[in-house]
Chain A
Amino acid sequence: DAGVIQSPRHEVTEMGQEVTLRCKPISGHNSLFWYRQTMMRGLELLIYFNNNVPIDDSGMPEDRFSAKMPNASFSTLKIQPSEPRDSAVYFCASSTRAAGEQYFGPGTRLTVT
């Protein structure tokens, strides 16, 4: 089993640029979650989807952030325009709704200069 796949693993970009993070959940999982982790704020849930539909996006910090899940095997998190304070590790996780436990990807470390 491949687990949750995220790309890229590392991203360095300049302020103002668009950043797109990608996630492939575990096959058969119908819930997908995007988290952000920083030293100051810990692990924050940004948005989650059930069956490709966004359920709760209350954690999305600003309109600069958007997420999509066009099908059951792919999701993107986009930041446009990026700012230095967006620097963090972004995790994607997936689960089967009935089970509850989430399986995390390796994360994308984003640095905005």
Chain B
Amino acid sequence: AQSVTQPDIHITVSEGASLELRCNYSYGATPYLFWYVQSPGQGLQLLLKYFSGDTLVQGIKGFEAEFKRSQSSFNLRKPSVHWSDAAEYFCAVGRYNAGGTSYGKLTFGQGTILTVHP
């Protein structure tokens, strides 16, 4: 069964600093990979996704993530954090079936809470 680990429960950065949130997954084949963001009192919003191809994917709000198969990682990065980025971030993994479409069910990590200091 697939699993997702986000090693950092809580990260604090200063506004303007760079950010990297870690995500490690366990799955035997090439997975679908996602990052979601949840602001307080809101639902989860999709930041970016990786299906295949270029291992560096760009998302909304200036975020990017890099798929590293050798490390089973899909870390989220942003070069300069804004105060509005304070939220909880979830990494998720899905999987393909033999026909190349998704089974539909995602496995989510436990989330990383990001605090941004002015």
Contacts and interface: CB of A to CB of B under 8 A. Distances in A.
- Whether both chains belong to one complex is answered with yes
Interface of A: 4, 31, 33, 42-43, 45, 48, 50, 55-56, 91, 93, 95, 97-107
24 contacts: A31-B104, A33-B105, A42-B108, A42-B110, A42-B111, A43-B44, A48-B104, A55-B105, A56-B105, A91-B43, A95-B104, A97-B102, A97-B103, A98-B102, A100-B32, A100-B34, A100-B51, A100-B94, A100-B101, A100-B102, A100-B104, A100-B106, A104-B43, A106-B42
A71 B17 CA distance: 48
Interface residues of B, number: 21
Contact of B101 (A42, A97, A106): A97
Chain A interface mostly helix, strand, loop or mixed? strand
Contacts of A31: 104
Interface string B59-100: 000000000000000000000000000000010001000000
Nearest to B36: A104
A86 B103 CA distance: 28
Interface hub of A50, A102, A104 (most chain B Cβ within 10 A): A102
Contacts of B32: 100-101
